[in-house]
Amino acid sequence: MWDYSEKVMDHYRNPRNVGKIDDADAVGNAGSLSCGDQLKIYLKIKDNIVTDAKFQTFGCGSAVASSSILTEMIIGKSVDEVRKITNKDIADELGGLPPEKMHCSVMGYEALEDALKNWGDYQDLDDLREPEKAQKIVCTCFNVTENVIWDAIKQNGLKTVEEVTNYTKAGGACGKCKGLIQDIINTYYEKEKSEQKLSPTQRILKINNIIETQISPELQKDGGDINLVDIQDNKIYVKLHGKCSSCKNATLTIKRFVEQTLKTALDEDIEVIDV
């Protein structure tokens, strides 16, 4: 039995803004009946403000609650504000959803994104960057595109195939797409890592800062200290002072501590050399 928040139960029992807007300015769809749930969202937009929103859904209680709260979240907001809403915002607004039901919040996000795309000039930034992703179906059982999986990973920090299944349903039937999902997860985190890469100057400053603020104060507690001597690629040359340099075993332990601290903060390939 899932553990639902009071807000989920309230929106499930008394859903707001159910129905259709006949003269809607934008309509968005997500999911499909063959996949078990479907959401259609209707928007009225005037002067860039969402003045009304309604929804029709076939799905579980979480899908009803997610759609209902989403309409409340967007009415009265500008299109710019609305397009920043993620599935995580929807789930948070509901006071959380069980992990296995997070895909309902993703369905709300997808339908909203679809409506805004249909409305006019809005395009998802990821689509602009990698347009081939938008329509590429990864999971044929649930019709889930690469773009949806990518967004779910990005917005929710998903790290495993199981988590992606909870959030998007992809991988939850025959399982044939699980390898592809894992590839997308790997690609996402490799890309994130390369984007976070520091310039050589930033790297030197960061290493110096870690030594001065994290490592040196720890060594000083035992009467020792450390100086940065040189950096060559992943080799970091340091000089240990005082008690640290007097005993071979202590030096080894300290070297390991220094190395681990720098590895955790920078990367696993770092080697510390005491000179």
- Phi then psi dihedrals of residue 15, to 5 deg: -65, 140
Query: How big is the site for ligand FES, counted in residues (CB under 6 A)?
Result: 11
At position 5, the amino acid (one-letter code) is: S
Please give the residues from 119 up to 138 whose contact with ligand FES meets the rule CB under 6 A.
none
Nearer of residues 136 and 176 to ligand FES, judged by Cβ: 176
Query: Is 244 assigned a catalytic role?
Result: no
Q: Does 141 bind ligand FES (CB under 6 A)?
A: yes
Token pair listed for 238? 């340091």
Could you identify the residue written with the tokens 């076939």?
A: 58
Q: Does 171 bind ligand FES (CB under 6 A)?
A: yes
> What DSSP letter does each residue of 143-193 carry, written as one string?
TEEHHHHHHHHHHHT--SHHHHHHHH-TTSSS-TTHHHHHHHHHHHHHHHH
Query: Is 35 assigned a catalytic role?
Result: yes
Closest CA to 214 of 249, 269, 251, 265: 265
Please give the residues from 174 up to 233 whose contact with ligand FES meets the rule CB under 6 A.
174-177
Residue of 104, 139, 177, 244 marked catalytic: 104
- Phi then psi dihedrals of residue 5, to 5 deg: -70, 165
Nearer of residues 115 and 149 to ligand FES, judged by Cβ: 149
Nearer of residues 139 and 158 to ligand FES, judged by Cβ: 139
Q: Which of 14, 56, 135, 140 binds ligand FES (CB under 6 A)?
A: 140
Query: Which of the 8 DSSP states describes residue 50?
Result: E
Residue span binding ligand FES (CB under 6 A) among the ranges 41-49, 166-174, 190-198, 253-261: 166-174
Residue span binding ligand FES (CB under 6 A) among the ranges 27-35, 115-123, 169-177, 237-245: 169-177
Q: Which of 82, 97, 170, 270 binds ligand FES (CB under 6 A)?
A: 170
Contacts of residue 147, Cβ cutoff 8 Å, sequence gap at least 6: 124, 126, 127, 133, 134, 135, 136
CB of 172 to ligand FES, least distance (A): 6
- Angle at CA of residue 13, ends 12 and 15, nearest 5°: 65
Token pair listed for 67? 């759609």
Nearer of residues 37 and 225 to ligand FES, judged by Cβ: 37
Nearer of residues 36 and 95 to ligand FES, judged by Cβ: 36
Contacts of residue 152, Cβ cutoff 8 Å, sequence gap at least 6: 87, 106, 158, 164, 167, 168
Q: Which residues are catalytic?
A: 35, 104
Per CB under 6 A, residues contacting ligand FES are 139-141, 170-177
